[in-house]
A and B are shown apart, each in its own frame.
Chain A
């Protein structure tokens, strides 16, 4: 049987507001436990929530960026359940009338095909605190610093058909929230995390299969792995004659497996109802126009501009615009060099390769855009060859000298003096009569031998184009 995979994602993006969604306490990460929780966050008797206007603005910005309906009127509701790190015994969220509905986003797949993924809704809610089970000698500690941190929960349609598509979608949303400057995207600190709803059905069947929800996955790599092992599990269950149960499952990265967290029967009845402490959020056209005016150039727009303005392929443009930092880096290099294609190749090849190997982001690159641009300029004006440039790049990676300083100190400047190159060629021809004879008898391959000899003698510095031309001339 051929199986079709159906995936929908719920992404939680922590909004980058300075204070919490319903209180004035700071949202900064990493403070000592419970030092960033005020009376409201602690859920003390008598306290009331007051909505942070900045969180609303950020949600509206997101909605406009994905071409969604930004609700003129949305409502906060209470989701009731007991847990020690949920101070009020309910989470303030949005249920029936969310702030953002019906948007979409385009993802690029590896084969160059693009696909639209629907976004059902995005709603504002508050995060819970953290339960700490270690270091308390059998007791549980509660840290409420995170309680009340604003989240935008972005719910997709079940439009993805593979783990790869799910990752591409998640990366695209990640890139978008970073572009919009509404989330720091830090996955290690939990600022960007996702739940995946996964089901399978026989190819061609319309009805959806029973889904399992994979909870709290916080890296791109784990999303892909978790979904793939879950797909395999579901196929195994069904092919063994069993049934997939609707349940919440947890991905264990160490064992690379998913396991039951709670079955559907154990699910809470959250008893949602409108929060009487908060007024409806009412946004008018003027407000939305103002927010729209603050939208930056979005990833797709930037990608298309890169294709047109710099004559790049769709793939190159998509890689370079995947993060705002990479795009900015690229534009800075091009500004210096006026060499878009060469710059794109260097950034996508050597630079991103080295960064990946060292697990660094481009904003942490040891080689700045200015230094890389300086080097590319020297390739363009033929001061160095592409091959020599690799050595210059390595030297720049190690230290902080400019390309020009490295070229000068190591004498890497290309030999373009045709007299000097001619002299080398004459010597080589004189010393290798056998190969000269072979070449002249029609063995064109031997040409490479002569090029190699010249490059060897010049220590790679002879201008390759000149070497070719002069060799052809002399061997005629």
Chain B
């Protein structure tokens, strides 16, 4: 049962092979049996899940079922869920029970998906290894001594370990694609504005975007259908029709022009990863795609640009966590300043503090022009690189991450080496473009992700290109062997 994709689950539910309650119970049992030794979940909601599953079964009996009615999924703990703890991986929100649902959660409820629980993540989505979570690191199901990637590491590990058939994630600089790559699953970051950000706890507002984390591209298409759409509560969401992303999955990719940016295959790339990516690209060539070498000359500035823009926005976005209305509040403050300093000092972890400090610094008087304003200019140059490239090619391919999953602790002492693990994913966030990571092979038993970047609102094309590869390969079908299950 737990090896079934969303498509297969939907089919089984429709034919009556099993009920939503049975599928849901099966997953809840698996989560319980694993004792969540991977630490994928911050909160599991068994009662709610069973209730939702029963309601879904009832809807189906009434002939009111939709395409995914009764399919269980997990939500990253960054999405506000009504009456359920929403921690964002932080001590700051350990006591926070949201009074409302994020629009993504509302959309999933309207499609009658079942919520299994909330997945672990780097604190406030700041991290690439899940090691900054207040709730402890998530372990990579392929090798429990290694990180699952981040920040959506809980979602990625849960899907890879068959502890959820699919999950939602968010991606500010690679937080869907990088953990998808490191855990061997499919993860899509849509175009900025495609999925509503309302109710998704903001890290960097101009970069954050939610997307599906699934085992296959076909599943990602199904879940993206549910997640996307214009939302009047989010002024940056785009009011354009949402296509059925499953409709074009089967299109031929003969003649597809694939851009290969030379900057994505440079010195920083691990040799094993490079050869896996090379094979995947050759496979595309064998399917009739055309390879075009391109250049994205401003790639080298992406990481530094990102680490000005994202902290600047986060320093302001995280100001609301002051202990006044919700969240962690210190004991017996002396005065207002002490109240703020200790509530925030105790509530936030070191990586969050580091980014707030960087952000406050780059926005402060006398430094604004040199850092913030300059980063905005570089951001435009990075976008222009892509615009130029997409005049000649349909999609851009390269590795999602320069390495496979690294060991715990390996990069925690060196933030820059940690930041560089997002070197290939960050630019697409700065440009607002969609990108997907799909499983493309293994190095020493650890999964490697192929990243495909598309032009604005070309999610359907990315899914089509991914699905065509997955029809001919079985990397996405590989499951980690886990003693505990």
* Interface residues, chain A, with chain B CB atoms under 8 Å away: 39, 42-51, 78, 80, 82, 84, 87-90, 142, 269, 271-273, 276-279
Q: Are A45 and B316 in contact (CB under 8 A)?
A: no
Q: How close is A63's CB to chain B, nearest CB, in angstroms?
A: 22
A45–B93 CB distance below 8 A = yes
Of the stretches B61-69, B107-115, B227-235, B292-300, the one at the interface is: B227-235
A89 in complex: contacting residue of B204, B233, B322, CB < 8 Å: B322
Residues B21-40 near A (CB distance < 8 A): none
- Asked if B324 contacts A142 (CB within 8 A), the reply is yes
Q: A45-B98, A46-B198, A51-B235 are in contact. Are A273 and B368 (CB under 8 A)?
A: yes
Is B481 an interface residue, CB under 8 A from the partner?
A: no
CB distance from B341 to the nearest CB of A (A): 10
A51, closest chain B residue (CB) = B235
Q: Given A45-B96, A269-B364, A279 and B235 touching (CB < 8 A)?
A: yes
Residue of A44, A90, A142, A269 touching B319 (CB-CB under 8 A): A90
**B235 and A47 contacting across the interface, CB-CB below 8 Å:** no
Q: Is the CB of B364 within 8 A of A276?
A: no
Q: Determine if A44 and B236 form an interchain contact, defined as CB atoms under 8 angstroms apart.
A: no
Contact B235 A46 (CB under 8 A): no
Is the Cβ of A269 less than 8 Å from the Cβ of B98?
no
Binding site for A on B (CB under 8 A): 79-80, 86, 88, 93, 96, 98-100, 102, 197-202, 204-206, 232-236, 312-313, 315-316, 318-322, 324-326, 336, 340, 360, 363-365, 368, 372
Shortest beta-carbon distance from B184 to chain A in Å: 30
Contact present for B236 and A89 (CB under 8 Å): no
Determine the chain B residues whose CB is within 8 A of the CB of A78 once the complex forms. Answer: 316
B313 touches A48 (CB 8 A): no
A-B contact pairs, 8 of them (CB 8 A): A43-B325, A45-B98, A45-B321, A48-B198, A48-B233, A48-B234, A273-B363, A277-B235
User: Shortest 8 CB-CB distances between A and B: which pairs?
Assistant: A89-B319, A271-B363, A276-B205, A276-B206, A46-B199, A43-B320, A45-B201, A46-B80
C-alpha gap A278/B202 in the complex (Å): 14
Residue of A with least CB distance to B87: A45
Instruction: Contact check, B320 vs A278: say whether CB atoms are below 8 A apart.
Output: no
Which residues of the partner chain A approach B88 to less than 8 Å between Cβ atoms?
45
Do A50 and B364 touch (CB < 8 A)?
A: no
**Known contacts A276-B206, A278-B235: A45-B320 contact under CB 8 Å:** yes
In the bound complex, how far is the Cα of B313 from the Cα of A174, in angstroms?
37
The answer to whether A46 touches B365, judged by C-beta atoms less than 8 angstroms apart, is: no
In this complex, what residue of B is CB-closest to A37? B325
Which of B316, B326, B364 is close to A44, meaning CB atoms less than 8 Å apart? B326
Q: Give the chain B neighbours of A272 by CB distance below 8 A.
A: 363
Give the interface centre of A49, A50, A277, A278 by most chain B CB atoms within 10 Å. Answer: A277
Contact of B200 (CB < 8 Å), options: A46, A49, A80 = A46
Complex CA–CA separation, A48 to B199 (angstroms): 8
**Contacts A87-B325, A142-B324 given: A273-B312 contact, CB under 8 Å?**
yes
Contact partner of A80 (CB less than 8 A), chosen from B80, B93, B363, B368, is B363
Assess the A82–B340 pair: CB atoms within 8 A: yes
Shortest distance between the CB of B42 and any CB in chain A (Å): 15
Instruction: State A272–B365 Cα separation when bound (angstroms).
Output: 9
Given contacts A45-B98, A46-B199, A271-B316, whether A84 and B235 have CB atoms under 8 Å apart is no
Please indicate the chain B residues that have their CB under 8 angstroms from the CB of A279 in the complex: 235-236
**B364 in contact with A89 (CB, 8 Å):** no
Min Cβ gap B33→A in Å is: 32
Q: A39-B100, A45-B201, A45-B326 are in contact. List 13 more A-B contacts (CB 8 A).
A: A39-B99, A43-B325, A45-B320, A46-B201, A47-B199, A48-B235, A80-B316, A271-B315, A271-B363, A271-B364, A272-B363, A273-B363, A278-B235
Q: Tell whether, in the assembled complex, residue B86 and residue A45 are in contact, meaning their CB atoms are under 8 Å apart.
A: yes
Q: Which residues of B contact A89 (CB under 8 A)?
A: 316, 318-320, 322
Interchain CA distance A51-B200 in the complex, whole Å = 19
Chain A, Cβ-Cβ closest to B205:
A276
Q: Give the residues in chain B near A271, CB-CB below 8 Å.
A: 315-316, 360, 363-365, 368
Central interface residue in A80, A82, A90, A271, by most chain B CB within 10 Å: A271
Contact A269 B365 (CB under 8 A): yes
Given the complex of chains A and B, what is the CA–CA distance between A6 and B291 in angstroms?
A: 70
Which residues of A sit under 8 angstroms from B313, Cβ to Cβ?
A: 276
